[in-house]
Structure 1
């Protein structure tokens, strides 16, 4: 049974997330053109490349260091309204991992729940507002169920990924109530929210690492 991410595996998770978002940048940009001002993909890849550079200069020594570096980069350098929110999201993962030897189901559930609470407090978004919350909230609920059921790490990550993907896809049917998408109305229908999709990509990168460990 896979019990948790090791320090090397949290680094692989972040590295994989950076690469995944880079590949998805054209899609993220196109989605944001339909629901915002079209700079989401560029802002994300710029911040994540700076994260990669920072991790090369200062290699992680602690389980939470990759998340902390990513958080600091987004809070310091990312443009757009969503950049600081992603920075606070990653910070909750750093806090949950800090000082530990493994990042397991409990830490993953805690980080996701606290990240949701922080983003909702700062952004005032609710489920159904067509934001990243629409992917985070179902992932948090899925993780809590998985933890209660005694799922191992692979099962918990699978549940979070499936819920986040379903939530992100569902934003294509929602009218925006927060952020730039609230100004374009029905013009955004049919296009998923890029922030929600990015949350799904974050859990997707985690699942790749779990697959390596359990395969």
Structure 2
């Protein structure tokens, strides 16, 4: 049976992301504390709690699921919450009004969301931000057009993980880590890691 990106898959995806985040929450918080203000884990946990509250209304399409996710993140404090909120909003708007969505639509949503994050935050690849994982994921999803969602998300996860790993040796030029300069070298960017977790959760959720 071929996996499809529909309402049920989107719900599984977000449930898997929330579970994976919880296992990594302490690590993400410690990374943010080493290079920022240490609130990333708490803010993301708050956002995911609000996601569950909104999903309790039982949105009926993948588009509606990610719209609810967007609203939850936009209602969360910190810098990353609104940026992720805008990213999820673009993802939602690229998906069809009726299920299922295809890889082309998914790739377009991630591309538009990443462009929005870059426009709002001014970050490029190499600046040690979530963008370092988002941009490779966009390229992987685009290259995977014509495959199924599970295969495409696996490719996106691998690309995002490599992008997140690349942030360890960088000196931040954007975000709070940019305030500490060389102190942040050797510290993985928690936002990029969260993006990688998101795509890996999606690949697992759609694994038939």
Superposition TM-score, scaled by structure 2 size? 0.95
Superposition TM-score, scaled by structure 1 size? 0.92
- Of stretches 132-141 and 98-107 in structure 1, the one that deviates more from structure 2 is 98-107
User: Superposed, which structure 2 residues align to 1:36-55 within 5 Å?
Assistant: 36-55=36-55
User: Superposed, which structure 2 residues align to 1:140-179 within 5 Å?
Assistant: 140-147=138-145, 150-179=146-175
Matched residues in 2 for 1:34 and 1:82: separation?
A: 17
Of 82, 102, 117, the match for 1:119 = 117
Does 2:62 match 1:66?
A: no
Matched residues in 2 for 1:103 and 1:24: separation?
A: 29
Does 2:29 match 1:29?
A: yes
Deviations 1:18-76 (A, max 9, x none): 221122110110010111000000000011111112212x1112221221111101112
Deviations 1:103-158 (A, max 9, x none): 221111111111111111111110100001000001111111121xx333222111
Contact 2:150–2:202 at 8 Å: present in 1 too? no
- Of stretches 137-146 and 91-100 in structure 1, the one that deviates more from structure 2 is 91-100
Contact 1:3–1:105 at 8 Å: present in 2 too? no
Does 2:124 match 1:131?
A: no
Does 2:206 match 1:210?
A: yes
Matched residues in 1 for 2:16 and 2:177: separation?
A: 28
Contact 2:3–2:206 at 8 Å: present in 1 too? no
Matched residues in 2 for 1:11 and 1:153: separation?
A: 15
Contact 2:128–2:172 at 8 Å: present in 1 too? yes
Matched residues in 1 for 2:184 and 2:139: separation?
A: 27
Does 2:160 match 1:194?
A: no
Cα drift, residue 6 of structure 1: 1.8
Unpaired runs of at least 5, structure 1: none
Tell me the residue number matched to 1:95. Answer: 93
User: In the comparison of the two structures, how many residue pairs are matched?
Assistant: 208
Tell me the residue number matched to 1:84. Answer: 82
Contact 2:91–2:106 at 8 Å: present in 1 too? yes
Deviations 1:164-214 (A, max 9, x none): 000001101110001110011111122210000010011011011121x2x
Contact 1:60–1:66 at 8 Å: present in 2 too? yes
